[in-house]
């Protein structure tokens, strides 16, 4: 039964009867102003629903008399089907239809007393309005509940909250509070500020305010005009039921908007996560492609062994390599570290947002980049080794080439004019003594020729070695060597022929000057020794250690010890010349001073002997200079060793410290992050030591120093250690930041995190940062997980392992362990929640339209959905329909990237 309470106008469904008609009069239902307002409002309310069925009423007390539109109204507002109406036009048919409507109202928990079908059929306005008010209360107001208040109180509280921020609005009831129209305008502006400029409204112009609100509501909110502004203004106390009916339409209109707004916000949140993840994926792909492309372009240069076969060309390539190490590679080291950091951050975000792990494009995995980087470093090492070995080879080539030139110059100087001399027929005009002299002279020449055989062989041997070592100008060396050898062969032939000629004339020419012959025989080898000694004294040398140059100095000292014997031989040979001069002067022999057996003279020997004695101290100076150079090289070795023996252990200590911090053993995550940042600053502040070491290393290389017995460290190992230290710091910083992100997003406390870390570290005996399955099981048991030892316990554990080690690597890392320990308590968006949100925006349709997405979502996110949603293929699909269900599911499935 419905009881009308005179104080609140609420319907009490607990009483068992309807108040008599006198109560209706006390309620003012018969007041002409109220009756007029109710009739207009209730008629508009009924039509707002009947239009959905393609009909309407004009006169509320007449159009419901046959019960047909009354039954239709109830079907529309309830969504249920009433019994089939009687189509007859007799009075009993009409009563039957109205009774079917009243029975349906009663079936919804409303007991109707004093409202009978006859009154409705007879067109009783008061009863008809009372019945419609009952329907409005049951189907439009009863379900309104704010903070578990009654329908009227809930609706009033909703109005008060929505209009609280607005000036000149104070909603206390459903009659006087709405007379000036500002409350209606405030409700509209609060939900749709684009429809009304509230600041231009005035409390002194209620008619304009009411017309503005009613016009906007009808045009943009699909709420028909249910009240007459003039009636409201001119009535001292407007009808409360009429205003409640009208306000309830506002509530229902904006309730849908609020649901749509909530749904849109949830969708925006999910889409922003996806868009950010896709941006990070695209950035990773771009950085990975760029780094791999740079490595691909760099490798051929490092693997190339082409050079112009000259020392200057190799030195140029070595300088290019140093520039590469100083300028081109360091930014790529940072890029590689950033790649790893971005990848770890992305995987953490995907895990926290309940998305699948990101799988990079084939060939761009972190492992692929690491392998490519390793190949790059191996190529660098082999390239640098090749450059240094090539410098050694070319330096020796240059030394051999200069030695070849010096010996060839000496030999060609000696052979100059020899062919003409051997081809001369001078002996045919000589007297016997002259002929004998010519023969002796030729014998001396043969002795000299034999002495020069060794030099020719040395020249040929040097040329052969230059060819073997691929000297860049070997062609000209071969031509000159061939010319010398050909000439040597001709000299041999000519010498043999001249000897034969002289032998044929020997019978005629017999007498010979013994003294001249003796001079010729002794002067020739001594002269040859002088030539060889001069060559040795000016000979170039190449050494790499103090011991080697000391060996040369010792050998030179031994040579100087033999000079006294050579001086005696020189004086003895010169004594022969003096004897000749004495004999000629004594016996006045014409032409006797001319030695017929040799072209050598005492002045030649004296000149060469003087030159040798002059070259000896010069050789001393050269050797001492080289000794100082090797001593300087030794100093460079010690400098490099001293510095590297400081830098190497320092890098190792920093690595150990960073590893310890990464194990989570030193305070909170923020403390660890601060310490890591501090270590990072310290490492960059230490960089001048590395640069100083690089300078020393460059001086070592320029000094052609290829070994260092004072240290186990090389520049290459220190570079790798430095880069590994930077990478380790960046990686640990990234891991700690991801742990902070996990901790904050999952809502776990620092104490919980410390407990997780302590448990993990306890079972990570080797400090590898990972646990084997049995260690992981023990760790779970230690923090309270109950894992049985039976078959079911093993099944449960294997299920957990599949979560924390999805790739079956055989190990559990701390990030996966932390994610597992916090995952169950996380309130994350799900595909089902996103589908429900889209369903609200679509008005419960199984599909959504582009216009609806553009209306409810920001432009960029609306277009994001439109471009990615597949066409809807279900039943009742319309042109342009989009499938939001498959789209929502895909958001939590495999990524396109």
Least confident of 64-73, 205-214, 506-515, 669-678: 506-515
Residue 685, domain member (yes or no): yes
- Percent of the chain whose predicted confidence (pLDDT) is above 90: 19
In a shared domain, residues 351 and 483: no
SS3 424: coil
Interatomic CA distance for residues 556 and 594, integer angstroms: 38
pLDDT value at position 210? 94
251 and 280 fall within a common domain: no
Same domain, 283 and 137: no
Using alpha carbons only, what angle is made at residue 342 by residues 895 and 811, rounded to the nearest 5 degrees? 80
Look up the CATH number of the domain holding residue 787: 1.10.238.10
Instruction: List beta partners, residue 871.
Output: 882
CA distances from 311 to 269, 306, 393, 396, 431 (A): 65, 13, 9, 10, 60
Q: Give domain status of residue 22, yes or no.
A: no
pLDDT tens digits along 407-455: 889 988 988 888 888 888 776 666 567 777 888 888 888 888 888 888 8
The pairs formed by 420-428 with CB atoms below 8 angstroms and a separation of 24 or more are 422/491, 422/494, 422/495, 422/497, 422/498, 423/494, 427/501, 427/502, 427/505, 427/509, 428/505
Structure tokens at 763: 């079972």
Whether residue 835 sits in one domain with residue 810: no
Number of domains in the chain: 6
Q: Of 693, 726, 759, which residue constitutes the final position of a domain? A: 726
Residue 463 burial by Cβ neighbours in a 10 Å radius (0-12, 13-18, 19+):
buried
pLDDT above 70 for 24: no
pLDDT for the residue numbered 504: 65
Out of 172-186, 226-240, 722-736, 828-842, pick the least confident.
828-842
**pLDDT for 472 beyond 90:** no
Sequence-distant (6+) residues with CB within 8 A of 81 are 75
848 secondary structure, DSSP code: B
Write the pLDDT tens digit of every residue in 685-714.
988 988 888 898 888 888 777 788 888 888
Q: Give the whole-angstrom CA distance, residue 797 versus residue 803.
A: 10
d(CA 655, CA 662): 10
What is the mean pLDDT of the segment spanning 620-625? 86
Residues 261 and 239 in one domain: yes
pLDDT in tens, 626-652: 888 878 888 888 888 888 899 999 998
Q: Tell whether 571 is covered by a domain.
A: no
Query: Above 80 in pLDDT, residue 3?
Result: no
312 pLDDT higher than 70: yes
| Selected residue with higher pLDDT from 607 and 307 | 607
Of residues 679, 815, 822, the one with CA closest to residue 739? 815
Last residue of a domain, one of 217, 238, 265: 265
Is 880 found in the same domain as 792? Answer: no
Q: Are residues 236 and 289 in the same domain?
A: no
Contact at 8 Å (CB) between 226 and 41? Answer: yes
By the 8 A CB rule, do 289 and 364 touch?
A: yes
pLDDT at 297 (0 to 100):
93
CA distance 442 to 693: 67
327 DSSP 8-state letter: I
Report pLDDT for 516. 75
How far apart CA 154 and CA 162 sit, in angstroms, is 12
Same domain (yes/no): 396, 440: no
Band the pLDDT of 2: cuts 50, 70, 90: very low
Candidates 342, 263, 350; CA nearest to 828 is 350
- The residues that bridge with 848 in the sheet, in sequence order, are 882
Spatial separation of the C-alpha atoms in residues 797 and 776, rounded to whole Å = 10
Question: Is 260 in the same domain as 297?
Answer: no
The token pair that represents 108 in the structure block: 């919804």
Q: Does residue 775 register a pLDDT over 90?
A: no
pLDDT in tens, 324-333: 888 998 999 9
Contact between 589 and 583 under an 8 Å Cβ cutoff? The reply is yes
Task: Kindly list the distances between the CA atom of residue 522 and the CA atoms of 107, 191, 413, 593, 605, in Å, as whole numbers in the listed order.
Answer: 150, 127, 21, 17, 11
Distance, CA of 601 to CA of 596 (rounded, Å)? 11
pLDDT-derived band at 503 (thresholds 50, 70, 90) equals confident
- Dist. CA 377–CA 853, nearest whole Å: 52
**Model confidence at 513, in pLDDT bands (50, 70, 90)?**
low
Q: Do residues 216 and 76 both lie within one domain? A: yes
The b/e string for 165-194 (b: 16+ C-beta within 10 A; e otherwise) is: ebeebebeebbebbbbbbbbbbbbbbbbee
- pLDDT at residue 506, rounded to an integer: 59
Helix H or strand E encompassing 278: helix 240-303
Q: Does 877 reside within a domain? A: yes
Strand, helix or coil for residue 308: coil
pLDDT at 256 over 80: no
Is the distance from CB of 345 to CB of 276 less than 8 angstroms? no
DSSP letter for 176, please.
Answer: G
Containing domain of residue 447, as a range?
405-509
Q: Is residue 594 part of a domain?
A: no
CA distances from 715 to 325, 401, 693, 711 (A): 12, 33, 8, 11
| pTM of the predicted model as reported, rounded to 2 decimal places | 0.52
| Residues 220, 233 within the same domain | yes
The pLDDT assigned to 260 comes to 72
Q: What is the mean pLDDT of residues 135-141?
A: 85
| E strands present in 31-139 | none
User: Is 576 a domain residue?
Assistant: no
Residue 310 C-beta-side C-alpha neighbours within 13 Å: 5
The answer to whether position 620 is within a domain reads no
Q: Which residue, 401, 436, 454, sits at the end of a domain?
A: 401
Confidence of residue 668 (pLDDT cuts 50, 70, 90): confident
Q: Which pLDDT score, from 0 to 100, does residue 580 have?
A: 75
Instruction: Report yes or no on 503 lying in a domain.
Output: yes
pLDDT digits (tens, 9 = 90+) for 111-134: 776 788 898 998 899 999 989 998
Bridge partners of residue 3, in order along the sequence:
12
CATH of the domain at 711: 1.20.58.60
**Average pLDDT in the chain:** 83
Sign, Cα dihedral of 344, 349, 352, 356: negative
> Can you read off the two tokens belonging to residue 755?
């407990």
* pLDDT tens-digit readout, 519-539: 888 888 988 988 888 888 887
Does one domain contain both 396 and 410? no
User: Mean pLDDT lowest for which of 335-349, 722-736, 807-821?
Assistant: 807-821
């Amino acid at each position: 039964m419905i009881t009308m309470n005179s104080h609140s106008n609420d319907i009490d469904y607990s009483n068992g009867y309807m108040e008599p008609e006198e109560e209706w009069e006390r309620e003012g239902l018969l007041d002409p102003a109220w009756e007029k307002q109710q009739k207009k409002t209730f008629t508009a309310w009924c039509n707002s629903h009947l239009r959905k069925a393609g009909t309407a009423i004009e006169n509320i007390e007449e159009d419901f008399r046959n019960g047909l539109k009354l039954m239709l109204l109830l079907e529309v507002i309830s969504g249920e089907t009433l019994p089939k109406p009687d189509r007859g036009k007799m009075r009993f048919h009409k009563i039957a239809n109205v009774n079917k409507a009243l029975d349906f109202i009663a079936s919804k928990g409303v007991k109707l007393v004093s409202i009978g079908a006859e009154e409705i059929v007879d067109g009783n306005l008061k009863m008809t309005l009372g019945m419609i008010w009952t329907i409005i209360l049951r189907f439009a107001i009863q379900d309104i509940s704010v903070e578990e208040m009654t329908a009227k109180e809930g609706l009033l509280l909703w109005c008060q909250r929505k209009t609280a921020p607005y000036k000149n609005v104070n909603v206390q009831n459903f009659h006087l509070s709405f007379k000036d129209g500002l409350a209606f305008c405030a409700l509209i502006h609060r939900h749709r500020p684009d429809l009304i400029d509230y600041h231009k409204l005035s409390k002194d112009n209620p008619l304009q305010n009411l017309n503005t609100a009613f016009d906007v509501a009808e045009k943009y909110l699909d709420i028909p005009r249910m009240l007459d502004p003039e009636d409201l203004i001119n009535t001292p106390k407007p009808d409360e039921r009429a205003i409640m009916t009208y306000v309830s339409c506002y509530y229902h209109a904006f309730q849908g908007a609020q649901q749509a707004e909530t749904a849109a916000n949830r969708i925006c949140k999910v889409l922003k996560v996806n868009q950010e993840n896709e941006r990070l994926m695209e950035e990773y792909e771009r950085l990975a492609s760029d780094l791999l492309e740079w490595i691909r372009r760099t490798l051929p240069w490092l693997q190339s062994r082409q050079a112009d076969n000259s020392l200057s060309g190799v030195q140029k390539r070595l300088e290019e390599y140093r520039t590469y190490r100083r300028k081109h590679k360091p930014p790529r080291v940072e890029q590689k570290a950033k790649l790893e950091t971005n990848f770890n951050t992305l995987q953490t975000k995907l895990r926290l947002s309940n998305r699948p792990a990101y799988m990079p494009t084939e060939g761009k995995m972190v492992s692929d980049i690491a392998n490519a980087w390793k190949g790059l470093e191996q190529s660098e090492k082999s390239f640098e080794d090749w450059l240094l070995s090539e410098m050694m080879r070319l330096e020796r080539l240059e030394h051999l080439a200069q030695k070849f030139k010096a010996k060839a110059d000496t030999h060609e100087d000696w052979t100059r004019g020899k062919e003409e001399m051997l081809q001369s027929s001078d002996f045919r005009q000589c007297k016997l003594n002259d002929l004998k002299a010519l023969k002796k002279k030729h014998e001396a020449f043969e002795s000299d020729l034999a002495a020069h055989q060794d030099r020719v062989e040395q020249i040929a041997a040097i040329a052969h070695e230059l060819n073997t070592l691929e000297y860049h100008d070997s062609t000209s060396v071969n031509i000159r060597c061939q010319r010398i050898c050909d000439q040597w062969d001709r000299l041999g032939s000519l010498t043999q022929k001249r000897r034969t000629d002289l032998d044929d004339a020997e019978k005629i020419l017999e007498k010979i000057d013994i003294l001249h012959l003796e001079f010729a025989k002794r002067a020739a080898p001594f002269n040859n020794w002088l030539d060889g000694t001069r060559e040795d004294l000016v000979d170039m040398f190449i050494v790499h250690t103090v011991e080697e140059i000391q060996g040369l100095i010792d050998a030179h000292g031994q040579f100087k010890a033999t000079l006294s014997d050579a001086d005696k031989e020189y004086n003895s040979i010169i004594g022969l010349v003096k004897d000749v001069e004495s004999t000629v002067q004594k016996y006045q022999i014409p032409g006797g001073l001319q030695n017929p057996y040799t072209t050598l003279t005492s002045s030649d020997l004296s000149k060469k002997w003087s030159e040798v004695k002059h070259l000896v101290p010069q050789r001393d100076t050269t050797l001492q200079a080289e000794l100082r150079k090797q001593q300087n090289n030794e100093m460079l070795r010690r400098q490099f060793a001293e510095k590297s023996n400081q830098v190497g252990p320092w890098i190792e200590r920093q690595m150990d410290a960073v590893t310890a911090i990464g194990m989570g053993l030193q305070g909170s995550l923020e403390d660890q992050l601060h310490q890591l940042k501090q270590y990072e600053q310290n490492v960059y502040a230490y960089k001048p030591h590395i640069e100083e070491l690089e300078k020393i290393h460059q001086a070592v290389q320029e000094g052609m120093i290829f070994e260092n017995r004072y240290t186990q460290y090389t520049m290459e190992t220190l570079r790798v250690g430095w880069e590994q230290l930077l990478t380790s710091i960046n990686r640990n910083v990234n891991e700690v930041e991801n742990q902070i992100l996990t901790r904050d997003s999952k809502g776990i406390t620092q104490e919980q995190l410390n407990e997780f870390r302590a448990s993990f570290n306890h079972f990570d005996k080797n400090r590898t940062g990972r646990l084997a399955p049995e260690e992981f099981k023990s760790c779970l048991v230690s923090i309270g997980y109950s894992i049985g030892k039976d078959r079911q316990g093993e099944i449960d554990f294997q299920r957990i392992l599949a979560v924390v080690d999805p790739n079956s690597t055989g190990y559990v890392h701390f990030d996966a362990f932390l994610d597992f320990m916090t995952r169950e308590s996380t309130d994350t968006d799900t595909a089902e929640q996103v589908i429900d949100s889209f369903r609200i925006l679509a008005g419960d349709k199984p599909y959504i339209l582009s216009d609806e997405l553009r209306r409810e979502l920001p432009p960029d996110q609306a277009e994001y959905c439109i471009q990615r949603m597949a066409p809807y293929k279900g039943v009742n699909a319309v042109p342009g329909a989009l499938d939001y269900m498959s789209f929502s599911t895909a958001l939590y499935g495999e990524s396109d990237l």
